Amino acid sequence: MMKQFLLAVCCFSLVGLMGCGGDDLGPVQDLGAITVRAPSAWKTETPTSGMRKAQYTLPKAKTDHEDASLIVFYFGQSQGGSVEDNLARWYGQFQQSDGSASKDKAKVDKKTVSGMPVTVVDVSGTYSPGSMNPMMGAGPEPKPGYRMLAAIVETAQGAYFFKLTGPEHTVEQGHKSFDRFIDQIQKK
């Protein structure tokens, strides 16, 4: 009886260490020059514009009032601006309560995934995304306590932009699955 109990404890521990359970991956999605596999806990949505290659909802943390969203943008070869241009624009979407520059508070990491350069940024504060369409006005109301994890994946066919935004606790809850999602991108 004791052997069965110890075997069960070892199996459950191994499952936990392997990251199984809530981190299971969904099917491979073809996004053009790359493929991705989103965690099955994320809700895959139909992209709402032609610039969006994929879009997901990450379930809200218990302490937050709304879900987070992850959108994958692709604008075409030599389109969408440089890595530095995008980082500057994303920093500008966040205001710090102490008035400091978001660039100074952001964490930036560079790595290689499937042979492609990847730049990852983590920034938080009051999120004011603005409007992509000047005819639409100023954009949504600023959202305090927000965080963004974003990645720029540089392919020979152009950059892919992965942008996860939402309440801080929800984004923190999805941080490891976002990292795993980015690290498992495959070049075609």
pLDDT band at 153 (very low <50, low <70, confident <90, very high): very high
What is the total count of domains within the chain? 1
CATH no. for residue 141? 3.40.1000.10
Average pLDDT value for residue range 115-129: 97
Is the pLDDT at 12 greater than 90, yes or no? no
CA 153 – CA 100 distance, rounded (Å): 28
- Count the residues in the chain: 188
Is 9's pLDDT higher than 90? no
Region 43-65: mean pLDDT is 96
Q: Is the pLDDT confidence value at 7 over 80?
A: no
Map tokens 């963004």 to a residue: 148
Query: Does 90 score more than 50 pLDDT?
Result: yes
Mean pLDDT (the chain, rounded): 88
The answer to whether residue 175 sits within a structural domain is yes
* pLDDT top residue among 178 and 7: 178
pLDDT at 16 over 90: no
For residue 139, is it within any domain?
A: yes
Closest CA to 35 of 9, 18, 53: 53
More confident residue, 17 or 142: 142
pTM of the model: 0.84
Q: Which of 142, 184, 178 is nearest to 69 (CA)?
A: 178
Q: Which residues pair with 100 in a beta bridge?
A: none
Does residue 9 sit within a domain?
Answer: no
The pLDDT score that the predictor gives to residue 132 is 53
* 33 band by pLDDT with thresholds 50, 70 and 90: very high
Residue 30 is part of which domain span? 26-187
**pLDDT tier at 129 (50, 70, 90 boundaries)?**
confident
Residue 3 within a domain: no
Long-range contacts of 125-133 (CB under 8 A, 24+ apart): 125/94, 125/95, 125/96, 125/97, 126/94, 126/95, 126/96, 126/97, 127/93, 127/94, 127/165, 128/93, 128/94, 128/95, 129/93, 129/165, 130/93
Domain assignment of residue 2, yes or no: no
In a domain, 16, yes or no: no
